[in-house]
Amino acid sequence: MVVGFGQSHCYQHGPDRSDERKRNASRGGRSKGTGELAALKKQARDLAADVLGGEVETGKAAVANQIYNTLIRAIEQERKNLETGELAERLEAMEEVLKGRRSG
């Protein structure tokens, strides 16, 4: 990492950014998530087994599967939004460091 002019620590080690780093680390790809995806996968497997076992009509299963796919897309979009926010914060921190170097 880059240490800005007049700073003794980089972004990753600066004590004044500790809380911000903790917030960032709890988001995006590093977070464990809510378990929604695992639950959807289990429901889809159970649905497939029920269809193959003749317990659920194929038409109803197809509609349920479409709903599962919509939920999966929503989860993926939420992940992308969090990741984009994290990247924007990191970029802003780097820009601040560079701005400090230019003015120093």
Domain boundaries, the chain: 15-103
Alpha-carbon distance 7 to 56, whole Å? 64
- Contact between 72 and 64 under an 8 Å Cβ cutoff? The reply is no
DSSP count for the chain of H helices, then E strands: 3, 0
**Predicted local distance difference test score (pLDDT) of residue 19:** 76
Task: Indicate the residue type of 104.
Answer: G
Q: What is the CA radius of gyration of the chain?
A: 22
Predicted pLDDT at 12:
66
Mean pLDDT by runs of 10 across the 104 residues of the chain is 62 73 61 78 95 96 96 94 94 91 77
DSSP character for 26? T
- pTM listed for this prediction: 0.57
